[in-house]
């Protein structure tokens, strides 16, 4: 039995004892504990420099004959390639680790209140740790505090939460947006109208990307953002994205568009423009298989100039890996300059199809057998232990 499992059982025993005392003379005390602190040529995503170190012992792993139960909550984007791959990498890491007997998943489209309930359900299921993609940076804090009190480590992936005891592991989304926006503005010669297509309204990653986009915009006074500075939200949903770009084309506004910044919903935009028999404008997207294939197909998509910014969905698997490190009291290196404590930041990379170097990088990202709507970065060096084939298979413990 690990120290964490022992602690959880101790908490349960104390709770029973408190109830017994309450039924007697009404006296007692409450005790809580807050947790604190590639095998392929896929996109290179590494932790940020200048880390601080949270030390712990490495004396314990899952005891012989026992294993951990990890809870996993994804509260949106069901059907979205990024979210589906994220869940599959979590399953693959749980299986490859040899330490997880079950990955208890709650994978559904809901709001912050619904995800708050989901995390509480995982606590009630007595999981050993919880990994989740947050719908809100603050709304989940009450449940995260309850998890801490129960001795359950929590790990937020893809975006941050403000709960101090929770670890955050995510792509640097501010840098993600800034890299793509600066490339786009330069490709446009620093002038013109940019159609700004965002992600899921209120999601911390979308908020961070908006910050990065605005930072880049400050240095390009000749750029005008349309339809407004706040952009249009796609919800990271392919169908919504297709509808938005088709409506944009039908309205005649595409004729006044000189560039398009997308928040990872990119191949749908390219397809719509091609089907309307219109000339392409420069486009920024993510390292999704279908979009990268379009960028490399000079014959099928003649005139398409674009760039892809890495946004690895392997944070799902990395989050499970981090949760296991916490359960085993291993050392975890965190970024010294992150906005939130206990944060592991992954740095994005940009590659385009307008330079020889960029095309070579895009070519190196190809993965056989990958769903075309999945990001190409299937693994993260130092943070995942499964093979790309295991991620594609999407099998967890017991499956």
pLDDT tens across 314-324, in order? 999 999 999 99
How many alpha carbons lie under 13 Å from residue 209 in its C-beta half-sphere? 31
Q: Does residue 3 register a pLDDT over 70?
A: no
pLDDT of residue 33: 25
pLDDT above 50: residue 17: no
Contact present, 394 and 88 (Cβ < 8 Å): yes
Give the C-alpha separation, 131 to 148, whole Å. 13
pLDDT at 5: 52
Flag whether pLDDT at 19 surpasses 50: no
pLDDT-derived band at 248, boundaries 50, 70, 90: very high
> Which has more confidence, 266 or 50?
266
Q: Is the pLDDT of residue 295 over 80?
A: yes
The pLDDT value given to residue 66 = 73
User: Residue 136: what pLDDT?
Assistant: 94
Least confident of 59-68, 239-248, 389-398: 59-68
CB 306 within 8 A of CB 296: no
Tell whether the model's pLDDT for residue 40 goes beyond 90. no
pLDDT top residue among 33 and 7 = 7
pLDDT higher than 70, residue 394 = yes
Angle between helices 81-97 and 315-327 (to 10 degrees): 40
pLDDT of residue 27: 32
What residues contact residue 355 under an 8 Å CB cut-off, 6+ apart? none
Q: How far is it, in rounded angstroms, from Cα 352 to Cα 169?
A: 26
Mean pLDDT of the region 291-300: 97
Token digits of residue 174: 């501010």
User: What domains can be seen in the chain, in order of their start residue?
Assistant: 173-309 (3.40.50.2300)
Q: What is the mean pLDDT of the chain?
A: 86
Q: What per-residue confidence (pLDDT) applies to 323?
A: 98
Measure the CA–CA gap between 22 and 17, rounded to whole angstroms.
9
> CB-based burial of residue 368 (10 Å sphere; 0-12 exposed, 13-18 middle, 19+ buried)?
exposed
Give me the sign of the Cα torsion angle 355, 360, 364, 368: positive
pLDDT-based confidence at 46, cuts 50/70/90?
very low
pLDDT surpasses 90 at 14? no
| pLDDT, greater one: 177 or 7 | 177
In the chain, what percentage of residues exceed pLDDT 90? Answer: 76
Q: Express each pLDDT in 135-176 by its tens digit.
A: 999 999 999 999 999 999 999 999 899 999 999 999 999 999
> What pLDDT, on the 0 to 100 scale, is given for residue 8?
52
Is the confidence at residue 2, as pLDDT, over 60? Answer: no
Q: Which residue has the tokens 């970024």?
A: 335
Least confident of 39-43, 85-89, 151-155, 279-283: 39-43
Q: At what angle do helices 112-124 and 141-149 cross, to 10 degrees?
A: 10
Higher model confidence: residue 366 or residue 2?
Answer: 366
Percent of all residues in the chain with a pLDDT value above 70, rounded to a whole number: 84
């Amino acid at each position: 039995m690990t120290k964490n499992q022992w602690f959880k059982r101790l908490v349960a025993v104390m709770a029973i004892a408190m109830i017994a005392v309450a039924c007697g003379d009404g006296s007692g005390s409450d005790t809580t504990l807050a947790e604190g602190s590639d095998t392929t040529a896929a996109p290179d995503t590494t932790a940020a420099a200048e880390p601080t170190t949270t030390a712990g012992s490495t004396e314990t792993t899952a005891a012989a004959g026992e294993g951990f139960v990890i809870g996993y909550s994804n509260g949106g984007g069901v059907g979205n390639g990024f979210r589906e791959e994220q869940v599959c990498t979590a399953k693959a890491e749980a299986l490859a680790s040899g330490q997880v007997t079950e990955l208890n998943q709650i994978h559904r489209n809901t709001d912050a209140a619904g995800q708050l309930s989901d995390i509480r359900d995982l606590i009630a299921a007595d999981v050993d740790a919880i990994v989740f993609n947050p719908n809100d940076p603050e709304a989940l804090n009450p449940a995260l505090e309850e998890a801490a009190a129960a001795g359950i480590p929590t790990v937020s992936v893809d975006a941050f939460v403000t709960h101090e005891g929770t670890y955050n592991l995510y792509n640097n989304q501010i840098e993600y947006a800034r890299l793509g926006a600066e490339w786009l503005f330069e490709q446009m010669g620093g002038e013109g109208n940019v159609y700004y297509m965002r992600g899921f309204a209120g999601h911390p990653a979308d908020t961070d990307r908006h910050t990065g986009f605005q930072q880049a915009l400050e240095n390009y006074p000749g750029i005008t953002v349309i339809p407004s500075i706040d952009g249009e939200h796609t919800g990271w949903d392919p169908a919504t994205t297709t509808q938005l770009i088709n409506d944009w084309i039908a309205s005649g506004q595409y004729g006044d568009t000189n560039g398009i910044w997308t928040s990872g919903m990119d191949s749908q935009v390219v397809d719509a423009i091609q089907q309307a028999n219109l000339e392409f404008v420069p486009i920024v997207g993510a390292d999704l298989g279908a979009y990268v294939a379009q960028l490399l197909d000079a014959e099928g998509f003649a005139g398409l100039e674009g760039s892809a910014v890495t946004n690895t969905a392997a944070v799902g698997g990395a989050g499970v890996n981090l949760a296991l490190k916490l359960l085993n009291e291993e050392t975890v290196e965190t970024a010294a300059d992150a906005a939130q404590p206990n944060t592991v930041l992954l740095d994005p990379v940009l590659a385009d199809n307008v330079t020889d170097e960029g095309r070579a990088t895009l070519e190196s990202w190809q993965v056989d057998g990958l769903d075309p709507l999945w990001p190409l970065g299937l693994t993260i060096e130092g943070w995942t232990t499964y093979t790309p084939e295991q991620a594609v298979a999407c099998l967890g413990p017991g499956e």
